[in-house]
Amino acid sequence: DAKTTQPPSMDCAEGRAANLPCNHSTISGNEYVYWYRQIHSQGPQYIIHGLKNNETNEMASLIITEDRKSSTLILPHATLRDTAVYYCIVRVAFGIGNEKLTFGTGTRLTIIP
């Protein structure tokens, strides 16, 4: 799996958009970008994933640069419940014999009231 680099921490005002960057300069053509978040003492929560096109769902948007070497997760209207550690993971699609998942250091996002 490609290595990812995320800022260790970020703050965002409640109601504003939170933009979380992730660098993955060694990403391979068949590797996806997955985003998860984890609130203390809870299981990781899947947010969104993509290959090369921008993606949007009810939780967030994922913007992947054209060269795919970096991406940004956007939470459009951050709430206090979005305070969590956010993990950017780059890997090939899961499959038999390829089921391992590794979290890096992540970004601790704090939403400020």
Partner 1 sequence: SQTIHQWPATLVQPVGSPLSLECTVEGTSNPNLYWYRQAAGRGLQLLFYSVGIGQISSEVPQNLSASRPQDRQFILSSKKLLLSDSGFYLCAWRSGQGSSPLHFGNGTRLTVT
Q: Is residue 55 helix, strand or coil?
A: strand
# residues near partner 1 by CB under 8 A: 24
What number of other Cβ atoms are within 10 A of residue 50's Cβ? 18
| Cβ 15 to partner 1 shortest distance, Å | 27
Question: Which residue, 42 or 113, has its beta carbon nearer to partner 1?
Answer: 42
Please, what is the minimum distance in Å from the beta carbon of residue 42 to partner 1?
5
Residue in the block written with tokens 């956010």: 86
What SS3 state is found at 103?
coil
- Residues 49 and 33: beta-carbon distance below 8 Å: yes
Q: How far out from the chain centre does Cα 71 lie?
A: 8
User: Hey, which residues between 34 and 73 contact partner 1 (CB under 8 A)?
Assistant: 34, 38, 41-46, 49, 51
User: Is residue 94 close enough to count as binding partner 1 by CB under 8 A?
Assistant: yes
| Residue 101 engages partner 1 in binding (rule: CB under 8 A) | yes
